[in-house]
Amino acid sequence: MAAAGSGHENWSSRSAFILAAVGSAVGLGNMWRFPAEAGENGGGAFVLFYIFCVLLIGLPVLLSEVLIGRHGQANAPESVRRVARDSNAPEGWSVLASMGVFAAFLILSFYCVVGGWVVYYIGVFANDLVQTGLAGGAFEGRAPDDIEGLLPGLFGNGGLMVGLNLGFLVVTMFFVARGVSSGIEWVAVYLMPLFFLLFLAITIYGAFTGNFSDAVSYLFTFDFSKLTGEVMLAAVGQAFFSLSLGVAGMMTYGAYANRDTNLGETSGIIASADTGVALLAGLAIFPIVFAAGLSASAGPGLMFQSLPIAFQAMPFGSLIGLAFFVMVFFAALTSSVSLLEAPTAYVFEKFNISRSVATVIVGAGAAVLGVLSALSFNDLAGFYPLSFIPIFAETNFFDTLDGVTAKLFMPIGAILTCIFVGWIADAKLIDSENGLDGLLHKTWRALVRYVCPIVLTVILYVGLFG
């Protein structure tokens, strides 16, 4: 449905908006990146600081982003320009969203690489189910090393990596090309409820069969000495990545919201759902990992290597494994769709071309970068594009894109968004959009004006140079 005169689409209902935004937020960031980052950054200190970031920084920034989008009713840079214009402020502020759109495009390119791994594991478990039947654990008779070797095995096969990556990207493009209500909304409305169903089943299963108490104490024991600048920056980056913030994604989705949606309330729902899923994912994955005697700091290998080994020891292991990766696939697809939508909406509105053509152009660009990311696990393993920056010294193309977007683009985008919403934009305009009143409104305003920009600048500084 197009809004009057603008040709701009809208969500068909408030719940469609919520499902799409939760679908954007909940993804590989929760299931794969959160446990990996928590494990690599020492557990409890990281997790608690992450929760702090979600509440004090993520939530206010989330509301700021959807608010800009809803007021602008256009792609992210154009929305910022319209808020600036209606506030008599310089329209050049739109650059904060242009940077974001570019960063979303970068994230999309490597996100689809990981999406491809998920597809590979769906194939592995489906095959295993067919081979060994329902009853026993997964991978009967295979050594743990062998199961762990599946991921390096995939990494070693550049052709397969590229093929899976492009396959995942093409599926994403298909839904984005179909538009807001029949594409983006469709995946969210059908896949997110399925995701939640599977997710609940697996979490309960993990809690009963795994080492739950070790996981709880690992994730929630706060050791202050572990909270270094680098850990703090990693936690902020994770909070932004998980909430789809700092890179124009939520502005783009906010632009499809109608006037009568209460944005304050909606932001609260989105942030709670996303954080709940991340914490529960940790509480599902770590018990299983600890019960199998595996290391918490396996990083990116946690979901793809440790978990499949754990599925081996479980009754119905192949089925659980298959269900798990199908569930992750659903979550990943609703997120990659939002990553593609931000640059696509910009391209087709800016250059006045059709949505489908814009999807193909952006997708083609993401394919090129994606191939470089996919090959950074094999043929391009020694290529460190930003080796002159200490924290990226030995970082391959894939990890460089991940690090630069989460540790630079997202915090910088969020700082600029806060300054824009808190200080530059017209206060009356902002007040009429945010759906908050009383103390909640005052708190939000103080967070956006003072707390977020200052805390983010400090964290960025100590994370990079401290």
Residue numbers of the site for ligand TRP (CB under 6 A)?
A: 24-25, 27-30, 104, 107, 241-242, 244, 247, 249, 335, 338-339
Q: How many CA atoms lie within 13 A of 93 on its CB side?
A: 25
Question: Which CB sits closer to ligand TRP, 53 or 309?
Answer: 53
Q: Which is nearer to ligand TRP, 249 or 411 (CB)?
A: 249
> Using CA atoms, how far apart are residues 455 and 325, in angstroms rounded to an integer?
37
Closest of 290, 258, 275, 345 to residue 50, by C-alpha: 275
> Of the two residues 158 and 299, which places its CB atom closer to ligand TRP in the complex?
299
Cβ atoms of 372 and 400 within 8 Å: the answer is no
Closest CB to ligand TRP among residues 218, 253: 253
Q: Which residues contact 190 (CB under 8 A, 6 or more apart)?
A: none
Residue 109 or 338: the one with the smaller Cβ distance to ligand TRP is 338
CB 190 within 8 A of CB 20: no
* Least distance to ligand TRP, CB of residue 271, Å: 12
Residue 340 CA to residue 71 CA, distance in Å, equals 22
Report yes or no: 77 and 94 within 8 Å, Cβ to Cβ. Answer: yes
Residue 383 Cβ, how far from ligand TRP at the closest point, in Å?
Answer: 24
Cβ-based nearer residue to ligand TRP, 240 or 348: 240
Contact 289, 282 (CB under 8 A): no
CB of 25 to ligand TRP, least distance (A): 5
354 burial class (0-12, 13-18, 19+ CB within 10 angstroms)? exposed
Q: Give SS3 for 428.
A: helix
Cβ-proximal residue to ligand TRP, closest one: 29
Q: Any idea what the Cα angle at residue 453 is, between residues 266 and 245, rounded to 5°?
A: 40
3-state secondary structure 294-332: CCCCCCCHHHHHHHHHHHHCCCCHHHHHHHHHHHHHHHH
Task: Please report how close the Cβ of residue 69 comes to ligand TRP at its closest, in angstroms.
Answer: 13
- Give min distance, CB of 249 to ligand TRP, in A: 3
When the beta carbons of 24 and 400 are compared against ligand TRP, the nearer one is 24
Nearer to ligand TRP, 28 or 288 (CB): 28
Q: Tokens for 237?
A: 């980056």
Our CB check for ligand TRP shows the closer of 111 and 392 to be 111
Give the helix ranges, DSSP H, for 225-383: 229-243, 249-254, 263-291, 301, 307-312, 317-350, 355-375
Q: How far is the CB of 70 from ligand TRP (least distance, A)?
A: 17
Other C-beta atoms lying within 10 Å of the C-beta of residue 452: 26
CB of 339 to ligand TRP, least distance (A): 4
* Number of Cβ within a 10 Å radius of residue 434: 23
Provide the residue type at 65 as one letter: E
Do 91 and 299 touch, CB atoms closer than 8 A? no
Phi-psi region of 43 (alpha: psi -120 to 50; beta: other; left: phi over 0): left
Question: Cβ 366 to ligand TRP, closest distance in Å?
Answer: 13
**CA 58 to centroid of chain Cα atoms:** 13
Question: Which residue, 21 or 421, is less far from ligand TRP as judged by CB?
Answer: 21
User: Strands, E, within 16-144: which ranges?
Assistant: none
Residue type, 436: L
Nearer to ligand TRP, 292 or 328 (CB): 328
- Closest approach, Cβ 337 to ligand TRP, in A, equals 8
The least CB distance from residue 212 to ligand TRP, in Å, is 24
* Shortest CB 226 distance to ligand TRP, Å: 24
